[in-house]
Amino acid sequence: MNIFNQKVLPAIRQMKDFEVLLRSRFEYMVLLDSHIGQIKSIVQTARQHDKKMLVHVDLIQGLRNDEYATEFLCQEIKPAGVISTRKSAVMTARKNKVLAIQRLFLLDTNALETSYRLVEQTQPDFIEVLPGVMPHIIAEIYEKVKIPVLAGGLIRTIEDAEMAFAGGAIAVTTSRREIWKHFAGKK
């Protein structure tokens, strides 16, 4: 299932990136490192440009990282989706019928096994695997849980992105403009 219909989900770290992406062919974008006071206007502006924002709830400054914050985000801000490492945020997004993306940091075998248990509980719409430069692990995760996988973190080159796709990732999340440009418009 690839509802994004794009190979790259551009990750916004600075407002100048957001301005560039508003003029791009990308429909979906990921908002990182933001402030609570900016979120509503960013999501509204994106919507006015026919863009859909996936908000990384763990990285919003000034917003407590719990289910109430996620509920506020879903009901008041209304992003297309929520990304989080937290079980409560992912489950709250699902309850509010917002795309739920479970972000997993895979440091070692123990983290991988813990992640499988977490995903079994949250049943997210998508999983984001970090670092995303592990094609064999991406393939293993998809085979085990059958939930579409996004690759993020340490995707530094076009070749890194291609390796993630070869492993089965449906898209990569990256803040690297050169990768955005290369995959702009490619499905």
pLDDT (tens digit per residue) in 11-61: 999 999 999 999 999 999 999 989 999 999 999 999 999 999 999 999 999
pTM above 0.75, yes or no: yes
- pLDDT category at 3 given cuts 50, 70, 90 is confident
As beta bridge partners, residue 55 has 31, 82
Residue in 106, 158, 157 with CA at minimum distance from that of residue 127? 106
CA distance 123 to 145: 9
Domains of the chain, start order: 8-182 (3.20.20.70)
CA distance 21 to 175: 11
Whether 178 and 10 have beta carbons less than 8 Å apart is answered as no
Q: For residue 131, is the peptide bond before it cis, meaning its omega torsion is within 30 degrees of 0?
A: yes
Q: Is 53 left (phi over 0), alpha (psi -120 to 50) or beta?
A: beta
- pLDDT category at 1 given cuts 50, 70, 90 is very low
